[in-house]
Structures are given as structure tokens and as C-alpha cells.
Structure 1
Amino acid sequence: MQKLLADVKTKDELTTYMALNILEHELTQEKHLIVAWRDQAKGNHRDVSHLASSQEEADTKLILHAKEATSAGATIISIHSQDTDVLVLALRRYPELCRNVHFVTGTGQRRRSISLQPIFDALGSSTVAALPGFHAFSGADITGRFSGMSKRKCWKVFVDMDPDVMAAFGQLGTMQNPSEAQMDLLERYVCKLYLPKMDLTTVADVRWHLFKKKQAQAESLPPTHAALRAAIMRAHYQALIWSVDVVANPELPSPDDYGWYLVEGQYRPVMTTLPPAPEAVIHLVRCSCAKTKCSSNRCKCRKAGLRCTELCSCSEGDGCDNMPDDDVGQDDDDDEPSSDDDE
């Protein structure tokens, strides 16, 4: 039975059966009901053909119907859902809905009703406008999330960002493609997410810093520049879908140009268009010499015919005999004044 109910065709037929029969049930005759399923909508008290929608997700259809209820004169609206997406979209559309809107979530005895107005007033219009973009970027149902970064941590960094970064989140989904300036601002947010106390602005610098100082593993590093661009495009596409949640039959572009590619009839995410690191770094040799000054072939770098780097343990001490010549020269220049300084 469980396998039968999980079948897509069974779900579709069951939903259609329930939608058509609920309006004809005697217990519902004294209530004004509107039922939506597939790309259809039907009411028991008036024509609602304008609500027949091609939207694929119930998340956006709930907002579509809430907006229509407001237009029809509703003064109290309760939106029932357990999905964060719906709460985010409802908050974004709150100025277009009646004043008394509640988000009802939970199940059984743990069900609770949340008034949207206090949340909207506390956050402010600019932050609320940026919520869908932030939610898509930090991890929604289909956009993925940053490894090791909880929603709480993403939110803490988000609310502390400057207005330019906040505006960049708000612009996701509002145009055909994000601009280069917008992508740079979102990259700055990711840098703060991984290194809150530093002012690095590129993920390449953050990756190098974490790798050099902490030898951080791949799952602890931010995405590469190429991987981040693909993630931004996926978040932008999700925000595009959400931006037309009050349009019954929106026209959306193909996902192909937004961080997705089609394989055997299914879309899969583009993880990156470049290797995660240069070949030399992937096969990096790193020595742990601390006292021998890397003067013999016991040094892994010297044995491999390579110069020591900042990643080696010897870089923390003095007098490595295997440092690149330009580094030695640079140290000399820094330690001794030039002839011009002497004069």
C-alpha cells in the first residue's frame, strides 16, 4: 500500500478525486470553497477560472490564492504550511495582502499561528524584500546549501551585512541575469560567512587562507569561484520562480542557463566549470621539517625537486635552506635598508 500511495500517478489521481468530491460534499455546501489541483481551479460559490494556474509548486499557489482572497475582500487570512518557503514568500507579499495574515504551522498539539505583521515591522521592508533571495542562496528545497553552514549562522551574517549586500539579495530574481556587481557582493557575503572577522572579498583568498593556516579539508572550504557562480545562478532561478508567485500562468526561462543541465530527462546541478584547484596544488608536496632547515633529502620538498612553500612547517621558523631564491631576496630587502635610505 505504501508503494502504491508513493506512486506519482496514484498521487495525481487521488488528488483529482478529492478535489472534485470535496466541493460536492454536503458538509461543505454552506462554506465558500476554492479547490486547486493540477492546472485547474474550481469554486462552489463563484467562477474562479482565473486561478487556473500552471505553477508547479503548492508554495507559490498558496500566495496566489492569498492575494486573490485579499482582492475579493478578505480581512483575515490564515496560510497553513510547514514549509519555510511559504513563510518567506508570505512575508515578502505581506504589503499586498490584508493586514491580518497568519502563518499556521506545526501539527497536532504543536500547531501554532504566527502573525506576519510584527515580523514584517521588526525586519523592515528592505530586509523582507531580500528574504527570498537569501533563502534561495543559503539553502532552499532545491538549491542546496553551504557545507557546515547552518541557516542560523547564514542568517546572523546576513542581517549584519551592509545595505549594498542586502540589496544584492533583493535583486535576485528581479532581472534576467544577475549583474557582475551583484555577484561580487554575494561573493563578499560568502567570504564573511567563512571568515567573519576578516575583510577578504574573494572566495579564492578565503580558500587559500583557510588552507594555508588551518589545512582545512574540502568540506570546510567555501566553494570555488566557478562553483559559487553556478550556485548564484541556481538561487537566481529559484528567486525568478518565486517572483511571479502572484501570476497564475507565468512564463519562465529554461533552467539550462541557470546552473542546471539536462541528463536523461532530469535536471542536475552544475557543480563547477573548473577544477577545484590547479594541478600543482592538487598534488601538492608539503614537508614538516622543523629543525633540519630542509638541507637534506629527508625534506619531502627537496627530495621531490620542489621548493618549500608557506604551507610547510619550516615557513614558521627561520633559516630554511630550500626556500625560493626570490623569497630569500625579498626577506633581505625587507630587513636591510636600501642605499637611498642610508643617505
Structure 2
Amino acid sequence: MLDTRNVIDHPVVNTVRTVEPVGKKQYETYKKSVLTDATHSIHDPIKKNKLPLFRSPTPKTKSKQVGQVSMLKDDVALFSRLYIVTQHRDGDLDTFFKHENHPYPPSLAERGKLRQGKKSDLTNILAQKTQEEPSGSFDVRVLDGAAVVHLLPVTGITTFDDYASGVFVPHIMRQLETSMRVDVVWDRYLDNSIKESTREKRGKGVRRKVAGQTKVPGNWPDFLRDPTNKVELFQFLSEKIVSTTFPDGKQVFATSGASVVCSGTDHSMPPCDHEEADTRIVVHLQDALESGCTTCLVRTVDTDVLVILIGKYHFLASKYPSADIWVAFGSGKNFLFLHINAICSTLGKEKSTALPVFHSFTGCDTTSSFFGKGKKSVWEAWGAYTEVTDAFNFIVEHPHAQITVDCQEFQMLERFTVVIYDKTSPLVSVNEARKELFCQKNRTMENIPPTQQALLQHTKRAVYQAGIWTTCHQAQQQTPTAEGCGWTLDAETKSWVPVWSSQPAAAKAKLKDMTCAHEYAVAVSNWFDVLGALENPVKLWDTFKRETLQAAKECIGERPRSRHGFVSTETLEKIEESRAARLPGNQDQHRALSRRIRTLLRRDKERYVRSLAEDVEGHLNANNLRPAYQALKKP
């Protein structure tokens, strides 16, 4: 719009362009159906077009409660599916727990999305490792630009020019009072990014064109939710930095897309292909250290930045031994200074270097956190199973390594996952731990580990993200595609979605074995040539039945029969009578007995199922899951 400079969404633009022909077409249709053909009454309501408009309401999303109710319904259905599975030829709980009971692993997914945890808990843990306070001045201050923009007030600001000259640039000036150099690092927003799901969760604000005389929107946080708004704002502010004259001897660097612009110096930095400021901060920090800076302060509100700096500290210290790195973290009453040197000294080199992989494996923006397992819990698990540090550091030393079920590193991560859920468990397999925790310790499906295959995909996502973090000192990372790294590109939405598992859900896995089905079909078809030579209908049927059952036994396997089946004595007697009537050819009596047998079988089965359901219900009401499963396993 020309007055507000708001940019209209593409669906609304399409509405404006097509509303007239759509209206004319509807008018002609109405005139023909009501006036000419009289196929509709004049009193019939006219359907709404539901065209996207300028003030279309925000699409409603399912609430968390609705998702939880859906999950509970799935858990109730699990008992019936488990019963069906255990009735199948070789159904057993060991096989069942190798598969997820949902399309999305409950321990890793929330309504089909990555399950998000609370990253700030890790900051609180790391903050306990240092109690120092920095001096007031630093050689260089590296600012997470997006964080600064969110924190700076916009009260009394009218236009974007006013914001730049009255808020942002003065803030840079204040930073230069106690430092020689300031670096402002912005995020980049690339198409088809794996970060898209995180951005969707933050919501989408009103799109407004950023220009000097454009009015600043009243709802500043809402404006900053739109990625395009931020791209234009960041570019606008970088241009303002270049055009500003700073005090003599002061240097200011700011990213501008993949490039870096500067003021007050002839020094240039190479282009950088990083997507996030989280990793690009390390490139600027490294450049400052290379230029002779020693005391460094990084301003951020993101735990990821803190983790990355700790992970890269020993690498930087080996090149610049005098480096003294601080982080100004958080805001308001939660603001604190963190001394990276002191934290890394307390943690030790191995644990410090491994921290980014630990963080990505236990939950960040692009990986799932384990349900009910916060950073404090998984940190304690790391202390209980320190051997996993070797696996973490292997991933650090081999960015984007190919992880398989059989490799030693995955086996260590699998054992670590078991420890996360049960620190006293001696098991090394998550599938075995799932069965034990569910059947013996009465854990819910959300509170048991993911299956081995689901954990493998989760590990691939963690390795992919860790690879980006551990190579952040390189200006050109040339990050490989996410395809095959626990992600896949959705053909319809053109966005990256998680691959949850390479195995189907439990019920489908057991009841739809295509290999067995194919073998069975081939075995049965081989008998059709033989059957064609038989003319006696009774002999034909007996042969077909016998050979079909034999093929089923050989290809599919015979289901174990209970010694105490649900078929009553009365029904068994009728079955014998029917067989006796069929052999001499008494078809009328045979058909009558067959109808009676079907009725009796339905009655017997109904009695059996009702009795079984009452038995299971009684155990569930008493919260005794193990006897309930034993009852379900009855054939």
C-alpha cells in the first residue's frame, strides 16, 4: 500500500487481479441456474468464495491440548494394535518395540514437528562454571545484530531513518566508547532452509517495505517476525553504518548479505556463506584476533552462540594464546557475563570441544529434544556415561560424517540415549530399553526412547547441525545438502521435513509383509495348473484348500494355536457334523450346518473378546501394565 508501505501477500494480490472475472462468472452461473434453467431456488444461499483479503484472519492452528488428546487416542488404539500384532504368526514384543507405535516418534516429535526443549537451561548450567566479572573495556565487541535490534527500544521513533540515526547508530557509538572495534553480524535468510520450521513457530508478521521515510510499524516485534522485513532492515542498517563517520581510530564492520562492509578502516574481510549469525560471529572474532585484538566481547541472547564459542575456544586459543573471550548474555534481570576461558578451563578440552555435538544431539532449533528430558537431565546423563565424549569428538573431527547403525560412534550414542532414560540400566540397545521401560517400569510411550531407526535419523540431523557449528571458523563452509541427513525435501511444499524413521509403524510392519505376500502368491499360483485337471468339485475344493493352507504354512508361518481356544464344545460338534454331511454329498444339510456354525463362532468369539477386554481393563485400572500385556498376548 502506498500510504503505509505495507507489502500485500501474493494470494491477496491474486484476489485483486481476479475478483472481477470471478464475480462475473458467478453472476452468469446464478442467472442461468435460477432465472433461465430454474434448477435452483432464488432463496438458495450463495456460497462464499473465501478469497484472501487485506485483513484475512490468521489461519487457526490446532492447540497443544488438541494434539495431546490425539496422542492419547493413539495410545488407546495401541492396545488393540498390539493385540493384533501378537496374534500374527511370529508376533512378539521384541519385534513390536523395534517399531514406533506412531507415524512420528512420540519421544522426538510433537504433532509431526521437531520437539523443542528449553535451550536456556544449558546456559544456566554453564554459568555455574564462572563467577568472574569483566573489565569495562574490550578491544572488540561482536554484536549479534538481530538480538540488538530486538532489544533496542523504538519508543518515539517515526521513520526508519529516525530509527537508524536516533537509536541504532547511537548504540554503536556507545559501544565504541569502550572498544576499538565493533562488528555487527546479521542473519541471512536462505530459501529452503532447515531453519524454516523454527521460523514458522515464531509466526509471520505484516510485511512492510523498509525505506528511510517509511513509518516504523507500531508493533515492532510483529514486524520482525517476517524474514523479508529483517533482510531489508539489516541491509538498510548496514548501509547507514557505512555512511556514518565514526571517531578517529574506531573501526566498524557489518555484514551485508554474504559480504562485509566497514567504516573507519581499509581492512577487508572475505565473503562468507554462513546462514546464521551464530556461526558467522566466530569468523569475525577470528578476524579481530588476527588483527591484534585480545579482549573480546560477544553480545547475544542465543544459547547456540555460547555453545559454539565454547566448542571453538581451544581451536582459537591454540592460534591466539592471549585471547580473552567474554559473552554478554541475555537481557534485563537475566543479563549476565560469561567468561569463555574460565568455562573451558573448568570443563576441560575434551568436554568443551564436544559440547556443540552434545547440544545438537540433545535438542536445538534443528534437532529434537527428548520428551521430558531437559538439558539438566541429559547433562547429568553425560556425567554418568562419559565414554560418549569420544563419539562426540569423533563427529567434531569428522564434520558431516556418515553415521550407520553398525558404526561404533552410533552404538555409543545409542547407549547414551539409554542412560538418558534410565541411568541404572545396563542395556545398550534402545529397542530393548523401550520394552523394559514400558513393560516393567510402566513408562508411557512418550517416556521411552525412540526406536533404533528413529534414533539413527535423529543422530543424522544432529551430525548435520554439528557439522555446521564445528566448521564455523571457515568463511566458506560449503555445507552439503540436508537430503539423506535426517531430512528430505517435500515435493509439494518445497520445504525440508524430518525423516523420522526408515521403518513403518508396528502394526503395518507385521501385518503388511510384502515379501511374504509375494512368496505366498507365487506358491498358490503354481497349483492352478494342477487344479485345472480335477473335475470332481469336492475333490477340487479339498485339494485347493489343502494346498493353499500348506503354502501359507511354508511362506507365512503357522500361528501358534491356544490349547484353550475360544471355540466351544457345541461349536466343535457342529463342525464335525458339517464335515460328515459334506463328504457323502449332502449339500443341503451341509449348508444349513455351515450357517449355524458361523453363528456359533461369532457368539464364541464375542464371549472370548469380552472376557479378554474385561481382564485387560481390570489390569489397566489397577495400573498394572505387565499383566495387561500378558493378557493381550493370549491367542
Classify the TM-score, shorter chain.
0.7 to 0.9
Counterparts of 2:373 and 2:356, CA distance in 1 = 18
Query: The residue matched to 2:477 in structure 1 has which SS?
Result: coil
State the 1:189 CA deviation. 0.1
The 8 Å contact of residues 249 and 264 in structure 2, kept in 1 or not, is answered as no
Partner of 1:26: 245
Counterparts of 1:46 and 1:5, CA distance in 2 = 31
Partner of 2:498: 269
1:153 paired to 2:377: yes
State the 1:312 CA deviation. 2.2
The 8 Å contact of residues 311 and 356 in structure 2, kept in 1 or not, is answered as yes
Partner of 2:294: 75
Cα deviation, 1:239-260, whole Å, max 9, x if unaligned, reads 1111210111111211001000
1:107 paired to 2:328: no
Q: With structure 1 as the length reference, what TM-score do the two structures score?
A: 0.79
Cα deviation, 1:312-336, whole Å, max 9, x if unaligned, reads 2596xxxx9x979xxxxxxxxxxxx
State the 1:89 CA deviation. 1.0
Partner of 1:290: none
Counterparts of 1:238 and 1:219, CA distance in 2 = 24
State the 1:121 CA deviation. 0.9
The 8 Å contact of residues 224 and 276 in structure 1, kept in 2 or not, is answered as no
Residue correspondence of structure 1 range 308-319 to structure 2 within 5 A: 311-312=626-627
Q: Show structure 1 runs of 5+ residues with no match.
A: 283-295, 305-309, 325-343
The 8 Å contact of residues 615 and 628 in structure 2, kept in 1 or not, is answered as no
Partner of 1:35: 254
Match of 1:300 among 584, 587, 612: 612
1:119 paired to 2:359: no
State the 1:43 CA deviation. 1.9
Counterparts of 2:453 and 2:427, CA distance in 1 = 17
Cα deviation, 1:15-49, whole Å, max 9, x if unaligned, reads 11101112322345552111113111022233454
Letter in 1 for 2:265: R
Counterparts of 2:235 and 2:614, CA distance in 1 = 72
Choose 1 or 2 for highest CA Rg.
2
The 8 Å contact of residues 211 and 217 in structure 1, kept in 2 or not, is answered as yes
Counterparts of 1:258 and 1:43, CA distance in 2 = 37
The 8 Å contact of residues 326 and 338 in structure 2, kept in 1 or not, is answered as yes
Residue correspondence of structure 1 range 51-62 to structure 2 within 5 A: 51-62=270-281
C-alpha RMSD of the superposition: 2.8
| Change in CA separation of 1:5 and 1:156 when aligned onto 2, cut-off 3 Å | closer
Residue correspondence of structure 1 range 141-290 to structure 2 within 5 A: 141-163=365-387, 165-173=388-396, 174-175=398-399, 176-178=401-403, 180-263=407-490, 264-278=493-507
Query: The residue matched to 1:172 in structure 2 has which SS?
Result: helix
Query: The residue matched to 1:271 in structure 2 has which SS?
Result: coil
| Change in CA separation of 1:228 and 1:52 when aligned onto 2, cut-off 3 Å | same
Counterparts of 1:262 and 1:273, CA distance in 2 = 16
Deviates more, 1:87-96 or 1:167-176: 167-176
Counterparts of 1:303 and 1:18, CA distance in 2 = 70
Partner of 1:337: none
Query: The residue matched to 2:413 in structure 1 has which SS?
Result: helix
Cα deviation, 1:182-228, whole Å, max 9, x if unaligned, reads 10100000001111111110011110001111342221111111110
Cα deviation, 1:289-322, whole Å, max 9, x if unaligned, reads xxxxxxx947518999xxxxx932596xxxx9x9
Letter in 2 for 1:300: L
Letter in 2 for 1:177: Q
Q: Show structure 2 runs of 5+ residues with no match.
A: 1-216, 512-606, 617-624
Cα deviation, 1:164-187, whole Å, max 9, x if unaligned, reads x11101222524313511101000
Counterparts of 1:91 and 1:228, CA distance in 2 = 26
| Change in CA separation of 1:281 and 1:216 when aligned onto 2, cut-off 3 Å | farther
Q: With structure 2 as the length reference, what TM-score do the two structures score?
A: 0.44
Letter in 2 for 1:77: C
Query: The residue matched to 1:255 in structure 2 has which SS?
Result: coil
State the 1:130 CA deviation. 1.0
Counterparts of 2:419 and 2:615, CA distance in 1 = 39
State the 1:131 CA deviation. 0.5
| Change in CA separation of 1:242 and 1:255 when aligned onto 2, cut-off 3 Å | same
Query: The residue matched to 1:34 in structure 2 has which SS?
Result: strand
The 8 Å contact of residues 246 and 263 in structure 2, kept in 1 or not, is answered as no
* Aligned-residue identity in percent: 27
Query: The residue matched to 2:506 in structure 1 has which SS?
Result: coil
| Change in CA separation of 1:205 and 1:123 when aligned onto 2, cut-off 3 Å | same
Counterparts of 1:299 and 1:108, CA distance in 2 = 62
| Change in CA separation of 1:52 and 1:43 when aligned onto 2, cut-off 3 Å | same
Match of 1:12 among 231, 236, 250: 231
The 8 Å contact of residues 395 and 463 in structure 2, kept in 1 or not, is answered as yes
The 8 Å contact of residues 168 and 186 in structure 1, kept in 2 or not, is answered as yes
Counterparts of 1:233 and 1:214, CA distance in 2 = 30
Query: The residue matched to 1:26 in structure 2 has which SS?
Result: coil
Counterparts of 1:265 and 1:28, CA distance in 2 = 48
